Amino acid sequence: MKYFFLAFPIVFCLSLDSSSQELLTLENAVSTALEKSYSIKVVQSREAIAHNDNTRGNAGMLPVVSGTALQNFTHNSINQSFFNNIREPLVQSGIDNRNNNAGVTMVWTLYDGMGMFAAADRLKEFEKLGKTNVQIAIQNTVSQVANAYYEIIRQKQRLKALQNALDISATRQELAKANYEVGTTSKSEYLAAQVDYNQDQAAVLAQQQVIQNANVNLNALLFRDFETKFAVMDTIVFRNDLSLADLKQKLTENPNLLAAAQSRTLAKINEKEVKSTKYPQVDLVTGYNYTSFNNEAGFGAQKGQSRVLNYGVRLNVPIYDGYNQRRREQNAKVNTIITEYQEADLKNQLLSALERTYNSYQNSLQLFGFEEKNLKIARQNVDLAFERYKFGNSTAIEFREAQRNAVATESRMIEAAFNVKLAEIELLRLSSSIVSEVK
């Protein structure tokens, strides 16, 4: 019995039967995840809030105008007597009075130590940070979906290898049974063939369970029913031309690094905002007030109106606050230094991760080529061992060992191809190229 296997330096392919199920491509899987991901929706909503907050009014550059209106009614009864009877007692009831008041006030800050301009810069930077966080969420989602997608392919390739081994074990069992029935082999050898066949069958069943769990994981990332059936591509396509120098150049575009730089910028802006509070604040204050009344009492003015326009400049000068201003400025400077440390540390971590992942990528490429050659030899060995066993020139133990070596070699090559792809995906994520190049 012969194996049929196709392998190239870049394309690793095992045929899988997917005709009975809908084919889910990686592009479709990524598109679905990006559309339905709750984490992406959350950061997009926060970005929308940051965009709405980025206004001149929120920065304090525009005047604040407020209006008030009041209408007051009173119902009075009066019973008054006067000293020395200078006049007749005043007795009245059912007296209705009405007072109306309406006004508009405006406060416009003309100068606050440039704090309003710092606030405007802060709001702009927060909006940029919101967009960067969206990019981080998108790239992480694409990476997770790609890893889960190729995990299914890996597990199905393992299943194919185990099924090939099971087919050989079935043929060996039939041959052992026929030889036992004609008396050319012992019953123990026939039973050993049955045991090996059952063992291979159990391995196939266990691998099918692994595939089911891998399908559940991908369905969870796509936010659909966990039992949804689908087929995936049967090929792991990986690149062997990634350059460490090019990846390092693109590392500056990593959104996590951009977010760290934006946090540092926000810290510097906060320094300016804190510093601005030690300077005087100048406000333009103006207002207009209208008042009217209607008095039904028999004394005093009966009706009246007044209109008042006021305007002026208000100066607020901070004099002493228990040295809290100095404390706030010092803390703001320290916070800026912290963000600089964090940015430098993150850059170092990303460079380290890039180096490690690239080393894994190169090593996996070499292992794939090595195991590809080994598999050809191992399969030839299985064919020769089976022919020798069939004609009684080798023992069942020797044949079983050759079969195990072939399965182990194929498993190692599957792992190597999968590891190359995982490393490629991570390198593209670190270099901020995953959205455009993952496929």
Place of tokens 């350059």: 243
Cα 340 to Cα 336: distance, rounded to the nearest angstrom: 6
Whether 208 is covered by a domain: the verdict is yes
Which of 28, 433, 27, 439 has the alpha carbon at shortest distance from 239?
Answer: 439
User: Taking the C-alpha atoms of 242, 247, 248 and 252 in order, what is their torsion angle to the nearest 10 degrees?
Assistant: 180
- Residue type, position 11, single letter: V
In a domain, 296, yes or no: yes
Q: Rounded to the nearest 10 degrees, what angle do helices 255-276 and 324-390 cross at?
A: 170
End-to-end CA distance of the chain: 36
Collect all residues with Cβ–Cβ distance below 8 Å to 366 and sequence separation of at least 6: none
Number of domains in the chain: 1
User: Which two tokens mark 24?
Assistant: 């889910």
Q: Is residue 95 in some structural domain?
A: yes
Which CATH number do you get for residue 430?
A: 1.20.1600.10
16: region left, alpha or beta (phi > 0 left; psi from -120 to 50 alpha) = beta
* Position 1 in a domain: no
Strand partners, 69: 102
| Residue 260 included in any domain | yes
Q: For the chain, state the CA radius of gyration.
A: 41
- 439 residues of the chain, pLDDT tens digit each: 332 222 323 334 444 444 467 899 999 999 999 999 999 999 999 999 999 999 999 999 999 999 999 887 776 666 777 777 777 776 666 666 778 899 999 999 999 999 999 999 999 999 999 999 999 999 999 999 999 999 999 999 999 999 988 988 888 888 888 888 887 778 888 888 899 899 999 999 999 999 999 999 999 999 999 999 999 988 888 989 999 999 999 999 999 999 999 999 999 999 999 999 999 999 999 999 988 877 665 555 667 788 999 999 999 999 999 999 999 999 999 999 999 999 999 999 999 999 999 999 999 999 999 998 998 998 898 888 888 877 777 777 887 888 888 888 988 999 999 999 999 999 999 999 898 776 5
Pairwise CA distance, residues 426 & 147, whole Å: 9
CA atoms within 13 A on the CB side of 145: 29
pLDDT at 14: 40
What is the C-alpha separation between 7 and 378, in angstroms, rounded?
15
Give the DSSP letter string of 322-369: TTHHHHHHHHHHHHHHHHHHHHHHHHHHHHHHHHHHHHHHHHHHHHHH
> What is the per-residue DSSP string for 73-119?
EEEEEEEE--GGG-S--EEEEEEEEEEEEEEEEEEEEEESTTHHHHH
Range of the domain at 257: 6-437
- Cα–Cα distances (Å) from 67 to 60, 72, 103, 143, 175, in that order, read 19, 17, 6, 54, 99
Q: Exposure of 129 by Cβ count < 10 A (0-12 exposed, 13-18 middle, 19+ buried)?
A: buried
For the sheet containing 11-13, what is the strand order?
A: 6-7, 11-13, 235-237
Cβ contacts of 46-49, under 8 Å, gap ≥ 24: 46/130, 46/133, 47/127, 47/130, 47/131, 47/133, 47/134, 48/130, 49/130
Helix, strand, coil % in the chain, rounded to nearest 5: 60, 20, 20
236 part of a folded domain: yes
